[in-house]
């Protein structure tokens, strides 16, 4: 269990650090994390994109990421994803 437990309802109330989210990622729906939190391209490449742990999460596309994380550019996302797969 993580040091600080983040519950689904908490995602709508405040923003969490990448470390807090990473420590709780196994207990949270990835799509909800994507929609409610401000994430980095590296975090998305590692924990969000291409993860198919449940049906809802298997539909996360690059377009979803760019829509909900408008501060991330496609080039940065592609770089993070390609570095993650090495």
- Alpha helices, H only, 1-86: 8-11, 18-24, 30-36, 41-43, 62-68, 74-84
Cα–Cα distance measured from residue 37 to residue 26, given in angstroms and rounded to the nearest whole number: 16
Neighbours of 64 (CB within 10 A): 15
Which DSSP state fits 56?
A: G
Least confident interval from 2-6, 54-58, 73-77: 54-58
Q: Going by C-beta distance under 8 Å and a sequence separation of 6 or more, which residues neighbour residue 80?
A: 40, 41, 42, 44, 45
What's the pLDDT tens digit per position in 20-71? Answer: 999 999 999 999 999 999 999 999 999 999 866 655 556 889 999 999 999 9
The confidence score (pLDDT) of residue 4 equals: 82
Q: What is the pLDDT of residue 48?
A: 92
Is the pLDDT at 8 greater than 80? The verdict is yes
């Amino acid at each position: 269990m993580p040091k600080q437990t983040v519950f689904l309802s908490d995602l709508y109330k405040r923003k969490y650090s990448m470390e807090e989210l990473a420590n709780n990622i196994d207990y949270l729906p990835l799509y909800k994390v994507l929609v409610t939190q401000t994430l980095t391209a590296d975090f998305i490449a590692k924990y969000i994109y291409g993860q198919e742990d449940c049906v809802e999460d298997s539909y996360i596309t690059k377009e979803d990421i760019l829509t909900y994380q408008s501060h991330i550019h496609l080039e940065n996302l592609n770089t993070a994803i390609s570095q993650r797969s090495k």
